[in-house]
Amino acid sequence: MEHSELVQLKLNIETSVGESTPTEAEYGGPLPLEEVGVLRLDKNAIDLNNVSYRYPNSVEPSLRNVSLTVKKGKFMVLMGSTGAGKTTLSLCLNGLIPQLLEGKLTGQVCVAGKNVGRTSIQSMSKVIGLVLQDPETQIIGRTVEEDTAFGPRNFLVPFNEIKQRVNEALEKVRLKGYNRRLTEALSGGEKQRLAIAGVLVMEPGILVLDEPTSELDPLGRLEIYETLDDLRRNKDLTIVLVEHSSQEVIRKADEVVVLNQGEVVWRGVPSELFRNILLLRKFGIKPIPVSLIGWYFYEKRWISLAQIPLDIPSAVELIRTLLPKYGHWQGNEQGDEHVLKQVMNWSEKAIAVQVNDLIYQYSPGQSALRGINMTIEVGQFVAFIGQNGAGKTTLAKHFNGLLKPTCGEVIVEGMNTLQYDTSYLSKTIGYVFQNPDHQIFSTTVEKELEFGLKNAGFKGKEIKERVDQVLNYTGLERYRSVHPFSLGKGERQMIAVASILVLKPKLLIIDEPTTGSDWTGVQTMMGLIRKLHAAGTTIIMISHDMDLVAQYAKRVIVLKDGEILLDGAPQDVFTNEQILLDAAILPPQLCGLSIQLTDILEHETFIEASEFTAMFESEEKPGCL
């Protein structure tokens, strides 16, 4: 069986459209009815019939009996937790599975009237464009123009037509006039838009985007979403988008398809899915924050399912109607006390980080940090937010000595970073970077954890004890002797954190701990960080996820152009709409809701759904943070 598949695979690559007709045995199942497919083709851009796929060397199939049709001109969003099979499905659509990636594929994939199994990937690229997650590896050319022209050149499109098509494609992704720019100098968002242009230039009728924003910052994401809106207006284009961000999906999608463990478990209009919180929890999809308040009302049987709000205006209206009927809101005396108490707590504590007049220049004349002054007390949970290039990471890298001040000083846990090198500071200050793959190099999880301890000079028994402890703490015990790269991204991220935790840092800096994770992964990671914070570790988190920042951090520092713009409790920071706009930060949805309800809340800001619902609790329960 394996052999015949390989032969089939080679045939597929070497021959073009329909030259080889696979027999039933080669196909690995009964041949689908061609006639039925032909009849449906004019309306359907994508037609999957009972598709199953198993990666080579894996036991469990990644797709199970997926049958799916997408009509021409529709915008479909594919959702689901990590490992649900979303990427696998997108790779099936243009033939990368099974032509590049081997494994066992059964069922029929029909795209734009072409049987994908029998058409070469290169020929498919004229009818279906696939954009992958990482913009970096999709760019082939040195200049924007050279890169965009790559596709049509392979199809031997004449020179003058290429010129014209390149300009058209670049205009569609808002990169008009970028022709001569070097690709390496583009921002993440620009790179990803260039990748989109690179497939659009081949004029496909279908565009598939596999988490195109997962590697981008909020601005880059916004750019992609705007581009998608532009493309949507062109009704001829069928779009399939794999996406995690619920708020974006609801605005765009005609239809949502949810995959869970390789199976299509739900499909329908997005609003229906996002009102059903139980379903979202089951599928591991992040709910829209305001819908959680609505869900509370629904559970109390005050409203129907269809009345659950999905955006701020409808939530405002709902709360205003329901509050007189069911509310128990008596103002916010306790809240003030609560905040006051916290301030008191801070002043009693020792100082973890002291930054004095810090200026940092990557090259003379170009200041990345311009005069930072701040103090972080032991036991605080601080979040740094701001655009890419605002100086968040540059500032954080000063805390473990990776960068040394050009001017001013940084004192961490009593040590001036000018006097100690990073390897010494690493025993006290832990720094977890965004991409775990930049540090994992051992053959087992256990060895990976031991590495930092050996560097710090620990020996035999102590190493074993600490590793055991951290493996238990992080839930990685069952992966102890597994090769880290055989695990998923979420687990690898956890290994990266664990490999720092073994050093028992007093101060933990976490740079984007949740990028690219699904909702379940985010919850696990944040649960761990909260546990560490509760145990007394000072936490500094750099994040673009404002919902997380509002929910977990006790202090938020907003950076812009190397300066501190705002510094305070999340409630206070996120209500400064104007200043945040200036720093291109969108406050979390619930803070936006609080601002709209400011007359009721008497200038109190709520950042958790439970605080809103507490207004409706009959017995006195303080809305705790």
Partner 1 sequence: MSIEYIPGDTLLHRLDIRVKMYGFLGLIILSFIFQDPLYQLFIVTLTGLLAFWMKISLQKIGRMVAPLIPIIITIILITGFTFAPERFGQASNQAILFYVLPGNRLGATVGGFLMGTTFTFRLVSMMIASSVLTLTTSIDDFIQFFQMMKVPVEITMMLTTAIRFIPTLDKKRQLIIEAQKARGVRFNNKGIIGSIRSHLPLMIPMFINSILMANSLSMAMLNRGYGLTRTSTSMRQIRFSFKDSCAIAFFILLLTSAFFVRFKLHLGVL
Q: Does 362 bind partner 1 (CB under 8 A)?
A: no
Spatial distance between the Cα atoms of 431 and 442, rounded to a whole number of angstroms: 19
Q: What are the tokens at 569?
A: 């409790």
Nearer to partner 1, 270 or 436 (CB): 436
Three-state SS letters, 232-271: HHCCCCEEEEECCCHHHHHHHCCEEEEEECCEEEEEECHH
Residues 265-294 within binding reach of partner 1 (CB under 8 A): none
Binding-site member from 20, 122, 314, 332 for partner 1 (CB under 8 A): 122
**Strand-pair category, 44-54 with 429-432:** unpaired
Q: Does 510 bind partner 1 (CB under 8 A)?
A: no
Binding-site member from 84, 127, 130, 529 for partner 1 (CB under 8 A): 130
Let me know: does 351 contact 526? Beta carbons within 8 Å. Answer: no
Cβ-in-10-Å burial (0-12, 13-18, 19+) of 3 comes to exposed
Select the span of 26-34, 58-66, 77-85, 131-139 touching partner 1 (CB under 8 A): 131-139
Binding-site member from 302, 346, 451, 473 for partner 1 (CB under 8 A): 451
CA distances from 71 to 79, 208, 536 (A): 18, 14, 55
Let me know: does 429 contact 465? Beta carbons within 8 Å. Answer: no
Binding-site member from 61, 117, 129, 490 for partner 1 (CB under 8 A): 129
70 φ, ψ to 5°?
-125, 125
User: Could you tell me where the beta strands, DSSP code E, fall in 315-414?
Assistant: 351-363, 366-377, 381-385, 407-412
Which residues 6+ apart lie within 8 Å of 83 measured at CB? 261, 488
**Strand-pair category, 238-242 with 206-210:** parallel
Whether residue 513 is preceded by a cis peptide bond, meaning omega within 30 degrees of 0, is no
Q: Does 116 bind partner 1 (CB under 8 A)?
A: no
Select the span of 132-140, 264-272, 322-330, 355-363 touching partner 1 (CB under 8 A): 132-140
Spatial distance between the Cα atoms of 149 and 160, rounded to a whole number of angstroms: 11
Let me know: does 148 contact 162? Beta carbons within 8 Å. Answer: no
Q: Does 365 bind partner 1 (CB under 8 A)?
A: no
Spatial distance between the Cα atoms of 99 and 124, rounded to a whole number of angstroms: 12
Binding-site member from 397, 466, 533, 544 for partner 1 (CB under 8 A): 397
Q: Does 14 bind partner 1 (CB under 8 A)?
A: no
Residues 159-198 within binding reach of partner 1 (CB under 8 A): 159, 162, 183-184, 195, 198
Binding-site member from 320, 485, 602, 624 for partner 1 (CB under 8 A): 485
Q: How many other β-carbons are positioned within 10 Å of the β-carbon of residue 67?
A: 12
With contacts defined by CB under 8 A, how many residues of the chain interact with partner 1? 69
**Min CB(214)–partner 1 separation in Å:** 13
Measure CA 156 to chain center: 37
Spatial distance between the Cα atoms of 494 and 501, rounded to a whole number of angstroms: 10
Q: Does 102 bind partner 1 (CB under 8 A)?
A: no
C-alpha radius of gyration, the chain, whole number = 27
Let me know: does 536 contact 262? Beta carbons within 8 Å. Answer: no
Binding-site member from 156, 278, 343, 344 for partner 1 (CB under 8 A): 156
**Min CB(534)–partner 1 separation in Å:** 24
Spatial distance between the Cα atoms of 384 and 556, rounded to a whole number of angstroms: 6
Binding-site member from 3, 233, 438, 478 for partner 1 (CB under 8 A): 438
Let me know: does 570 contact 290? Beta carbons within 8 Å. Answer: no
**Min CB(507)–partner 1 separation in Å:** 12
Binding-site member from 7, 33, 39, 140 for partner 1 (CB under 8 A): 140
Binding-site member from 48, 70, 139, 445 for partner 1 (CB under 8 A): 139
**Min CB(472)–partner 1 separation in Å:** 21
Binding-site member from 40, 64, 104, 126 for partner 1 (CB under 8 A): 126
Binding-site member from 433, 482, 561, 576 for partner 1 (CB under 8 A): 433
Q: Does 11 bind partner 1 (CB under 8 A)?
A: no
CA distances from 448 to 26, 445, 467, 498 (A): 43, 5, 10, 9
Nearer to partner 1, 160 or 618 (CB): 160
> Cα angle vertex 157, ends 155, 162, to 5°?
120
Q: Does 123 bind partner 1 (CB under 8 A)?
A: yes
Q: What are the tokens at 37?
A: 């497919």
Q: Does 96 bind partner 1 (CB under 8 A)?
A: yes
Q: Does 326 bind partner 1 (CB under 8 A)?
A: no
Nearer to partner 1, 13 or 339 (CB): 13
Q: Does 155 bind partner 1 (CB under 8 A)?
A: yes
Site string for partner 1, 409-428 (x = CB under 8 A): ------------xxx--xx-
Nearer to partner 1, 67 or 159 (CB): 159
Nearer to partner 1, 142 or 531 (CB): 142
Q: Does 394 bind partner 1 (CB under 8 A)?
A: no
Spatial distance between the Cα atoms of 541 and 551, rounded to a whole number of angstroms: 12
Q: Does 10 bind partner 1 (CB under 8 A)?
A: no
Which residues 6+ apart lie within 8 Å of 141 measured at CB? 147, 148, 149, 150, 183
Binding-site member from 65, 72, 113, 134 for partner 1 (CB under 8 A): 134
Q: Does 439 bind partner 1 (CB under 8 A)?
A: yes
Binding-site member from 32, 73, 113, 146 for partner 1 (CB under 8 A): 146
Residues forming contacts to partner 1 in the complex (CB under 8 A) are 91, 94, 96, 99-100, 120-123, 125-126, 129-130, 132, 134, 136-143, 145-146, 149-159, 162, 183-184, 195, 198-199, 202, 397, 400, 402, 421-423, 426-427, 430-433, 435, 437-441, 451-452, 455-456, 485, 499-500, 503
